[in-house]
Amino acid sequence: MFKPDAKIFDELTQKISDLIPPGIQQAQQDFKANVKKIVSQSLTKIDLVSREEFDIQTQVLLRTREKLEALEKKLEELEKKHL
């Protein structure tokens, strides 16, 4: 399962909180904390995978396809010999 990087949330909440006038410092900090919490909760509810996990699964699938192709070729050769 995808484990969101805290840096992503920090950047996102910083961009959003920068839109709030600086005179409202406490409200801005509360807003930033709440946005970070909401975004984090929302992202963890959906099934996402990290790029690393995706790349690993892509390699596993590639090796599986190669093995399947080799087995299909071997089966074809055995069938030819048997006929």
Instruction: Give 10-residue mean pLDDT values along the chain (83 residues).
Output: 68 78 74 83 78 93 97 94 82
Distance CA 19, CA 13 (A): 10
> What pTM did the predictor assign?
0.46
CB contact set of 20 (below 8 Å; sequence gap of 6+): 27, 28, 31
Distance CA 22, CA 19 (A): 9
Return the SS3 of 23: coil
**Model confidence over 25-44: pLDDT tens digits?**
677 778 888 888 888 788 77
